[in-house]
């Protein structure tokens, strides 16, 4: 019978994770190609149903997928919304990540 399982072999998942890490490290080295590397990393993550690690997720804009460098992002905390705000200077949009105490406490 034909194997119709949608899950990918474990060895492929390991390689896919490694490729995502490599693409982000390359984006750090060559920010001018960052958007392309972010695009490829997201494509791999979608294909293998993987999560992009949270520390890498914060390194690009979630609206225009531009890789963040010191020039094109402004990072501020907002006590009103209890969020860390990433202001993208390319698309002028804001990405928020919460920092409320309850959430951090429940994780531990």
Measuring CA to CA, which residue among 96, 102, 58, 61 is closest to residue 80? 96
Instruction: Give the CA-trace dihedral at 85, 89, 93, 98, to 10 degrees.
Output: -10
- Choose which of 42, 91, 94, 99 interacts with Zn ion (CB under 5 A): 91
Measuring CA to CA, which residue among 49, 36, 42 is closest to residue 10? 49
**94 interacts with Zn ion by CB under 5 A:** no
Characterize the bridge pairing of strands 83-88 and 73-78.
antiparallel
Of residues 27 and 61, the one with the C-beta less far from Zn ion: 61
Of residues 38 and 45, the one with the C-beta less far from Zn ion: 38
Residues 48-77, mask of contacts with Zn ion (x by CB under 5 A)? -------------x-xx-------------
What 8-state DSSP symbol labels residue 31? G
Which residue ranges make up the site for Zn ion (CB under 5 A)? 61, 63-64, 88, 90-91
């Amino acid at each position: 019978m034909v194997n119709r399982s949608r899950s990918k072999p474990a060895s492929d998942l390991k390689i896919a994770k490694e490729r995502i890490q490599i693409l982000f490290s390359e984006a750090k080295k060559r920010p001018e190609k960052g958007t392309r590397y972010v695009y490829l990393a997201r494509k791999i993550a979608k294909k293998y149903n993987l999560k992009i690690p949270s520390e890498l997720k914060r390194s690009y804009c979630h609206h225009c997928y531009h890789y963040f460098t010191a020039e094109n992002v402004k990072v501020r905390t907002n006590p009103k919304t209890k969020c860390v705000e990433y202001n993208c200077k390319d698309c002028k949009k804001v990405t928020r990540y919460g920092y409320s105490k309850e959430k951090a406490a429940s994780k531990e």
